[in-house]
Structure 1
Amino acid sequence: MKSLAVQRWPGPTPAPQDGLFAILINTSAASSPPGTASAPAPNAASTVPPPASGAGQQRDAARRQIRQAAREALGAVLRMPAADISIVSTPGTPPHVLLAGVGSHIGISFSHEDGYGLAAINLHGPIGADIMRVQDIPDWQTVASDYLGPAVAAALQNTINRPLAFTQAWTQREAALKCHAQQLSEWQAGLSGASISLILPDPHLAGQIHIGDKTA
């Protein structure tokens, strides 16, 4: 599979493809005002002022909103009440799904950007997901060289639509790291699995998912 269409939620019951589906919700009512999100470049953090407590509360509300939507969508797919589905997060590990209090092999990953929340689900095993607003990163060469690897950095030199290509490459890397429960670090190869492009309903967003080996 080269791409996966993302469905807006609420909506019809998702139809998994090879056990994969993803939903997108609007969290603008709970999110920070436009322009307050930090750029993806790691060194951009120093230029963004610390968020106010209100912004933190808005982010928490957006996280709760997408988790509830994920439980509803997964419940519709599995034909079970959303109340019987729990999403548990443990520091250092990806979120995992409990069905009626029992552990499962279902993988789930979340991403937030620009007033949206994404939930991607793999019914067969691990998954990582990342979305980002397409934007021109001024120091893209340094960021790509340090974090995306020499091959990607070289490819970005000659691409026609560099903002989109950079965003796709960045979200691919972030999704792979999430799938393997790793923090962002300077470039290293060897993350197993497969990356799949997301077809998002907002043309200003781009994203990827990364799936691990099937466990069922």
Structure 2
Amino acid sequence: MQKLSVHTWPGAAPTIDDGVFVIGLATGEQREEARLQLRQALAEALGALFDVPPREIEIEASPGAAPVVVMPDGQRLHCSFAHDGGMSLAAVCFNGPVGVDLMLSEEVAGWEAVARDYLGPEATARIAATPRDERAAVFARAWTAREAHLKWLGVGLDEWPAHSQSSGATVTLDLPDGLVGTLVYVDGATSLMPA
């Protein structure tokens, strides 16, 4: 599986790779504060890319719907957010829907039942066949791939096999040790990207 770099924020404007970029920042454990920090960081990153004031960039989010960035010219961009382990990620795709997920790689109590209910029989068998000391990372990769896929579809967490097929590009994210992340997006060139 391909790996994609995560741009540390604050920093230089992120580089768009295959119509998508991901920024990451340390946000701490407070979820509501992390959400606010991440939305501000995303507005700053997009402001740097498009050369517009971040305060003119809006992020629309409502329960049960994927968030959308609204640029000052009315252009709407798909985005996705994830938080875990004191880190937050924001992904933007210029070609269509995007989903990102992030998880600490640590042992999950009752992982077999969780995997069976949410990840499906193939993932459950793969995780069970993994040596114990590697199992947490394999579980985290399967879980983040599932969550990113569901965010890409714009649906909430559902038991397997609902929404089990994906036609989006799926890549792992290059993250610090102990964190696992996956991105699902529509790949390809588009005219929505900044010049």
Counterpart of 1:207 in structure 2 is: 181
Could you tell me how far 1:215 is from its partner in structure 2?
9.3
CA deviation string 1:140-186 (max 9, x = no partner): 11111111011111111222411101001000100111111111111
Matches within 5 A, 1:162-201: 162-188=135-161, 189-200=164-175
Q: Which amino acid aligns with 1:179?
A: W
Q: Give the secondary structure class of the aligned counterpart of 1:112.
A: strand
Contact kept, 8 Å, 1:86 with 1:101, in 2: the verdict is: no
Counterpart of 1:72 in structure 2 is: 44
Query: How far, CA to CA, are the matches of 1:61 and 1:155 in structure 2?
Result: 36
Query: How far, CA to CA, are the matches of 1:2 and 1:215 in structure 2?
Result: 18
Counterpart of 1:55 in structure 2 is: none
Q: Any stretches of 5+ residues in structure 2 without a counterpart?
A: 191-195
TM normalised by structure 1 equals 0.80
Q: Give the secondary structure class of the aligned counterpart of 2:48.
A: helix
Judged with a 3 Å threshold, the aligned counterparts in structure 2 of structure 1 residues 214 and 88 are, in CA distance, closer, same or farther, namely farther
Query: How far, CA to CA, are the matches of 1:146 and 1:214 in structure 2?
Result: 33
State the percentage of identical aligned residues. Answer: 40
Counterpart of 1:9 in structure 2 is: 9
Q: Which amino acid aligns with 1:7?
A: H
Q: Which amino acid aligns with 2:34?
A: A
Contact kept, 8 Å, 1:125 with 1:215, in 2: the verdict is: no
Q: Any stretches of 5+ residues in structure 1 without a counterpart?
A: 33-58
CA deviation string 1:103-132 (max 9, x = no partner): 42x211111112111111112211011101
